[in-house]
Structure 1
Amino acid sequence: MAGNSQKPASNHQPNPHNSFDDNQQKIKTYKKKVARSFILAFTTLIAIIAICIAWFVANNRVSGTNSSVSAQSSIPFELASMGVRQEAEEKALSGSLSAGTSEQYEKYIDAETGTEVPLTAMFYIGTNSLAWHLNGQETLAPGASGDLVFYLIPKVDGLKTADVILDLAGYAKTDGSSNAEQIKDTQLQSLIKGHILIFKNLDDEKGYSNWIGKYNKSEYTFSNSFTVKAPEKSGFQKGVPYKVTLHWIWPRYFRNYIYNLRSTEEDLFAGTLEGNETYQAINNFVNAQASVSMDNYNYLFAKDNNFKIDGSIGVNMSDAVLDSCSKYYNKADEYIGKTAEYVYVQIVVR
């Protein structure tokens, strides 16, 4: 039988020392949850960045036999998207990208599950310099997230895989220029790649998973890539769109890379972290950035002469380590916001 959960009233005054201790604990807990030293001081700067998306696809597929290599004559894939063209892309590039050929399809196949989905819709199709159509107009800022959806349309029979490479780059309009150009700033381009993360999966149980980011610690290089495998044993069906969905996020706080309170604190992860391969990959990446001494090859932190992160980064890190990481992560956000006007996502399929 359950007892009464209400506590009896007390006539005693609260102990001021206990109250102080309680407040200290609340402050400590708050720091763990928020840990952002600049508290959105520069959000308005970063909010001007628009995600303007272009893509490209290789015109042939290379096959090899022993030492000989030849290019197949047929284009292996066309790319397609649905929805609206990004206004910022048209404005920044004066509509120089192709809208693609409009064509109506009656179905598509989910590339992840192999499920055939009936759908009567207009697709924008092509093989090079295509503007990416999305569900709505997208903008980027810390805390923003969304989906990148595209379709692979096989042009030949028997293809079993498609290798996908994504690249993110910061652009801005220079004085007297009508179109945006890629900014020649290695530090900026590196930070954009590390602050905008792309995953193959997202659910309530684990949060984000299957990160497509790949960091080479010995060479200080970072790339986004993955392979789409045909859901059918015989390979992709020629002429049928295969839907590929990716999930992107720009974490609002540094803590979002580390903890697992996705539902309340916007963290990347949910549930247990033990055995989570994506968490381990992200954590390895983050710790590697803390030891990189060259600004142009740091994908997470914008440092100064006093830069120092003394200790490992993880769920049990000290408040001092968390504060230092948050400080330099925020400086990086600020640097991106002050330097870039647009972020372009380029996709290559081969």
Structure 2
Amino acid sequence: MENKKKEELTPEEYRKKVQDQIEHYKQQWKVFLRTGIFVLVALVAIIIACIAWFVSNNRVTGSTGTIQAVGSEFDLAAAGTSENKGVHDGLLNAQPGTDIKLSEVDYASTDGEHTSITWAITENSNVNNKTKTGINPGSSGSLTFYIISHKDGKLSVTLNLTLTGYSGTENAQKPEDLTEVKKDIQQLLEGHILLFAGYDAKTNSYQNWISDDAGKWNVNLGTENNNISLSRDEQGNIIWSAENAAKDTAYPVTLYWIWPEILSSYLVTDQQYTGNRPILFKTESDLPDDLYEKMCRTGSNRYFLVTDPNEFSTVVTADRLRQMRMNFNPAIYGNMSVYYNMADQTLGENVRFLKLKLDAQ
């Protein structure tokens, strides 16, 4: 009888039911939301710092990010001088970078000689978190950094981004106070806080996913006179390349991050069942071919909390996930979304700090 009632829900009734469920889970996030402002500060400093670069030869710790093998062909920078760092978490220890000015714009930059750097934020370069109340389901934003070419002609830079979660107390004072989360929690983090190289404000949708589960893509960042692109190849490498880079020129790279609030953001192609929430894969070309098969794994699952593999396998299947794109069924979706919401709750209970590591070569 309960299933029959679910099937008889109208879209509007279903949306209200889902929203009530979301609010229920948010009320259970006491540990996470109690320190929401602190988590936001830590995230701005440690994760997607958008990205102001500061030179360091120190060993990398749990509160720092690194860029390896910068070399002499390019430097990495953010708009803003090193004297104007903005607010950053006390766990991040960073030495001032090199202040440079190109085309009347101030940058905090690496100096071409260091192979390891840490970062903090500048006033003009931060996570741009839209919620302002901490990082939680529904949070999103963007980050911009710059590649400064030191030569004329072809330039290629390979980027690798790694998101890592940490646990720790509210009064953590040093990197040693943080503990990297366990493997199963880390996997859920990678499937719930996502990075993209493109965002369409008109359709409130994302493109060019940066993930081990993503497919190949290529986005044009240049002009008719200079072919600049950011792409993901078959091996999963993220490559920025310019056919005709100009010496002493700063080229911006903007990435977008989002913590999808509801499972339907992964499934549907319009906002009938997401309300005003974003859509992740609006077209079939945006959707990785085997994503739904990967989402149904009973082991190493990035998206759902799997407590009983046998029960999970009867509720969540690749065919049912695909069905939502063509013919949304509120009853079937409601049963599947419970596993996604439980994963969000698990992250809220276990992850207090986040780090985004960026390697470039």
TM-score scaled by length of structure 2: 0.68
> Shift of the alpha carbon at 1:327?
0.9
Conserved in 2, the CA contact under 8 Å of 1:81 and 1:132? no
Question: Cα 1:194–1:34, aligned 2, differ >3 Å: closer, same or farther?
Answer: farther
Structure 1 residue 227: Cα displacement: 1.3
The one-letter code of the counterpart of 2:165 is G
CA distance in 2, matches of 1:42, 1:122: 45
Superposition deviation, residue 187 in structure 1:
1.0
Hey, what's the Cα distance between the residues in 2 that align with 1:144 and 1:224? 26
Residues 146-190 of structure 1 deviation map (CA, whole Å, 9 limit, x = unaligned) = 111100112344343211111111123369863353514001111
SS of residue in 2 equivalent to 1:327: helix
Structure in which a larger fraction of residues adopt strand: 1
Distance in 1, matches of 2:298 and 2:267, equals 22
Q: Does 1:326 align with 2:337?
A: yes
Mapping 1:33-52, distance limit 5 Å: 35=18, 37-39=21-23, 40-43=26-29, 45-47=31-33, 48=36, 49-50=39-40, 51=43, 52=46
Q: Give 1 or 2 for the bigger CA radius of gyration.
A: 1
Q: 1:146 to 1:184 in 2, by over 3 A?
A: closer
Mark the runs of 5 or more structure 2 residues left unpaired by the alignment.
Answer: 48-63, 216-234
> CA separation of 1:208/1:33 partners in 2, compared to 1, >3 Å: closer, same or farther?
farther
Partner of 1:197: 194
Give the alignment partner of residue 289 of structure 1, picking from 295, 302, 306.
Answer: 295
Residue 254 of structure 2, aligned match among 245, 252, 262: 245
Matched, 1:30 2:30: no
Find the aligned partners of 1:158 and 1:333 in 2 and give their Cα distance: 46
Q: 1:178 is matched by which residue type in structure 2? A: K
SS of the equivalent of 2:94 reads coil
| 1:289-328 matched pairs, under 5 angstroms | 289-290=295-296, 292-294=297-299, 297-305=300-308, 306-308=311-313, 309-311=315-317, 312=319, 313-314=321-322, 315=325, 316=327, 318-328=329-339
Does the CA contact (< 8 Å) of 2:76 and 2:145 recur in 1? Answer: yes
1:112-151 matches, cutoff 5 A = 120-126=104-110, 128-133=116-121, 134-135=125-126, 138=129, 139-151=134-146
Paired residues for 1:133-282 under 5 Å: 133=121, 134-135=125-126, 138=129, 139-173=134-168, 178-179=174-175, 180-203=177-200, 204-205=202-203, 207-215=205-213, 225-230=237-242, 233-234=243-244, 236-259=245-268, 260-261=270-271, 264-269=275-280, 273=282, 276-278=284-286, 280-281=287-288
Aligned residues: 283
Q: CA–CA distance in 1 between the matches of 2:330 and 2:186? A: 29
Q: Which residue does 2:58 correspond to in 1?
A: none
- Retained in 1: the 8 A contact 2:147–2:252? yes
Q: Post-superposition shift, 1:29?
A: 4.2
Deviation at 1:140, TM superposition (A): 1.7
- Confirm or deny: 8 A CA contact 1:57 1:79 kept in the other structure: no
Amino-acid identity (%): 21
- What TM-score does the superposition give when structure 1 sets the normalisation length? 0.70
Root-mean-square deviation (CA), in Å? 3.3
Please say which of residues 167-176 and 236-245 is displaced more in the overlay.
Answer: 167-176
Seen in structure 2, the aligned counterparts of structure 1 residues 196 and 136 have a Cα distance that, compared at 3 Å, is closer
Displacement, 1:237? 1.9
Gaps of 5+ in 1: 1-20, 61-73, 107-119, 218-222
Structure-2 change in CA distance of 1:96 and 1:261 (3 Å): same
Q: Which amino acid aligns with 2:119?
A: A
| 1:237-293 superposed Cα distances (whole Å, 9 cap, x missing partner) | 2221110001111101111111221893313258xx5x5311x21x73244222x12
1:343 counterpart (327, 351, 354): 354
Q: Is the 8 A contact 1:75 1:156 kept in 2?
A: no
